[in-house]
Structure 1
Amino acid sequence: MKLIPSYKYWIINFFGWILFALFMLTIDKITYGGGDSPNRMYYLLSEGVLCGILGFALSFIILYFIENYFNIGDYSKRDVYKLIAVVVITQVIYHSLLWPMLNIPANYFLNKSVDLTLLQKLTNVPHFLAYFIVWLFVVLTLKLVYYINTIKVKQLQLEANLKESQLNTLKGQINPHFMFNSLNNIRGLMLEDADVARNMLTNLSETLRYSLTKSELNSISLEDELEMVENYVEISKIQFEDRLQFETEIDQKSLNLQIPPMIIQMLIENSLKHGISNLKRGGKVSLSTLVTNNLLQIKVANSGTLQQSKNSTQLGVKNIKKRLELLYGQNATFTLIEIENEVVATIKIPIV
């Protein structure tokens, strides 16, 4: 939520500053005998208006900093110190301009200048500082409420996206073609090697169970995801046979890190569907993870070219990008490039 471009904020802020200054400054002085003459009362009224206008103008310095350099949802102590410094600078400017400005109505209505000692001016600092603190509290409250509502909306979008991801995955795994091929291949294996066939049935069962349970979670450990990927690859090897080579290079420090469920499985599925399946001689799929600079890098590379996937809907890629955006905002990245007849998909997410 940006307040500076909003004309409604300008109007409310302008009248808010003036009314607040009149209430806190002018009415208080008039009540205690400050308005014993018309000229004195006119001066006090103009004093309140000028204080309000000056506060209104200088408040945009603080607001500009908040909206461009202060993230209400992710700020550090350093950011707080910077905000305090901006408020202090604003106060210096405020008091440097205030007293010369007040001399104008004082000379006009009272035929004299505002004659205060440095100590008297300093004693007014907490009073005027209170105006900015009240205004700052209101602005930060508005932004915090907006941030909380935004988080709620993103959470709802994420839950909907995860449900969609779950359904898309189930469509890819529990469709008649997939089930028929898997079970038919397992049946053939039973005549050749009953133990291998039994292991394939276990892999198929674990894969389907994972898609029904784990995909409902917002995050899981990378180690759990790798277990599911291994089952998925073993099942796929029945179809691809010797055409599929699968390699992994896993950073041990990444095993316990949390990632979105089924995100690696989607990368592997895309590499098989749009890469290996289009190559008569098959190819290689490699999966690697790396922890560096507070980031977890997940990379899946497969033989093939991106041009072979032009006619696809890119549903899996769009799903991955959307989920990363909802979970991590701009802190996560996803790239899909071709390097020397190899398609490389890379995900980088912050370590929480």
Structure 2
Amino acid sequence: MKLLSNYKYWIINFFGWILFSLFMLTIDKITYVQDASINKLYYLLSEGVLCGLLGFVLSFVILYFIENHFNIGNYSKVDVYKLIAVVVLTQFIYHGLLWPMLSIPAFHFLNEHIDLTILQKLTNVPHFLVYFVVWLFVVLTFKLVYYINTIKVKQLELEANLKEAQLNTLKGQINPHFMFNSLNNIRGLMLEDADIARDMLTNLSETLRYSLTKSELNSISLEDELEMVENYIEISKIQFEDRLQFEMKTDEDALNEQIPPMIIQMLIENALKHGISNIKSGGKVHLSTLIIDRQLQIKVTNSGTLQKNENSTRLGIKNIEKRLELLYGKNATFTLEEINNTVVATIKMPIV
């Protein structure tokens, strides 16, 4: 933020210098001047106003240097030395102009001339230097706070952009992963039953159309996701036939809640690939969605056991975990556990 082009700064700076000088000079002197005449009071007021005006004008020199040659976020020792030199220069100018200026109200109100020795003038230097030190401290503090806030905003923007890029990367993994498994299933059916393979391709095209349009979004309604899951189950039943039993229990109050697209489909796909497909007699997959304590709970239970497969990339599981982390942070959880020869995958996410 450029203070030089901010009219509010000039207004505050002007009255700040005047009031500060009146407080430091006029009020201070009045407290120990006894039986002061009205002319003496006029002179003291004039002295405070003139000192404030002179400080206001010379503060422009320092501020001009700060805003054009002093980077508050990346300064060197040389820059600090230059800033000190500029402040010292303004002090020479200040004291060079101050006493001739004060002679005018002194002669007008007191009929006196200010005739101070060099030593007397030098003893006033620390007093007037305080004015500029206070002003400089306020300006640098303001600029530092503004710089820190700017850095925070940029950091939040970078984090948001990074999160969006990571989400897009993860969503880009969904379609190839899903298509690869589905095409493998179709390939296995081509020589066995061309009609069934054709029906499977039709269902696959509908599913892919859905995934391509919805995966661009960060969230969709649970109802839309469940429709996609039902279509995916129909595709899978062509492969598994009677080996697959699917049940779904849905809380109607949760149908309009927003969830990451295709996250349930990936749970179902994982249950079929690593659970049902490894059981000769097949098994059951049960999907339930309900709201508990202001959280949406999605649970997929399938027959089978948790098996460690070194050749498995666990792409689907990693994808789910990372997307939940990016979208909800610690407010969402994902667990995968084995309970009584069944594998239970549970997602809990806050209701938005």
TM-score of the two chains, using structure 1 as the length reference: 0.56
Which is worse superposed, 312-321 or 222-231? 312-321
Q: CA deviation at 1:329?
A: 1.1
Aligned length: 230
SS at match of 1:280: coil
Residues 247-287 of structure 1 deviation map (CA, whole Å, 9 limit, x = unaligned): 10011111111100010011011111111111111111111
User: Does residue 244 in structure 1 map to residue 250 in structure 2?
Assistant: no
Aligned equivalents of 1:250, 1:140: Cα separation in 2: 51
Once the two structures are superposed, the pairs formed by residues 194-205 of structure 1 within 5 Å of their partners are 198=199, 200-205=200-205
C-alpha spacing 1:32/1:314, structure 2 compared with 1 (3 Å)? farther
Q: Does the CA contact (< 8 Å) of 2:247 and 2:286 recur in 1?
A: yes
Mark the structure with the bigger radius of gyration.
Answer: 2
Q: Does the CA contact (< 8 Å) of 2:207 and 2:231 recur in 1?
A: yes
Which is worse superposed, 160-169 or 237-246? 160-169
Q: Does the CA contact (< 8 Å) of 2:301 and 2:343 recur in 1?
A: yes
Once the two structures are superposed, the pairs formed by residues 63-82 of structure 1 within 5 Å of their partners are none
Once the two structures are superposed, the pairs formed by residues 76-155 of structure 1 within 5 Å of their partners are 142=148, 146=152, 149-150=155-156, 152-155=158-161
Which residue number in structure 1 is paired with residue 271 of structure 2?
Answer: 271
Determine which of 163, 167, 186 is the counterpart of 2:169: 163
Q: Does the CA contact (< 8 Å) of 1:301 and 1:343 recur in 2?
A: yes
User: Does residue 180 in structure 1 map to residue 208 in structure 2?
Assistant: no
Determine which of 20, 28, 34 is the counterpart of 2:28: 34
Aligned equivalents of 2:146, 2:291: Cα separation in 1: 36
Unaligned runs of 5+ residues in structure 2 are: 1-16, 32-140
- The letter of the residue matching 2:295 is L
Q: CA deviation at 1:143?
A: 6.1
C-alpha spacing 1:32/1:162, structure 2 compared with 1 (3 Å)? same
Which residue number in structure 1 is paired with residue 328 of structure 2?
Answer: 328
Q: Does the CA contact (< 8 Å) of 1:333 and 1:348 recur in 2?
A: yes
Q: CA deviation at 1:181?
A: 3.4
- The letter of the residue matching 2:26 is Y
Q: Percent identity?
A: 56
Aligned equivalents of 1:251, 1:173: Cα separation in 2: 30
SS at match of 1:216: coil
- The letter of the residue matching 2:24 is I
Which residue number in structure 1 is paired with residue 44 of structure 2?
Answer: none
Q: CA deviation at 1:145?
A: 5.8
SS at match of 1:306: coil
Q: CA deviation at 1:309?
A: 4.6
SS at match of 1:235: helix
Aligned equivalents of 1:28, 1:145: Cα separation in 2: 38
TM-score of the two chains, using structure 2 as the length reference: 0.56
C-alpha spacing 1:234/1:140, structure 2 compared with 1 (3 Å)? farther
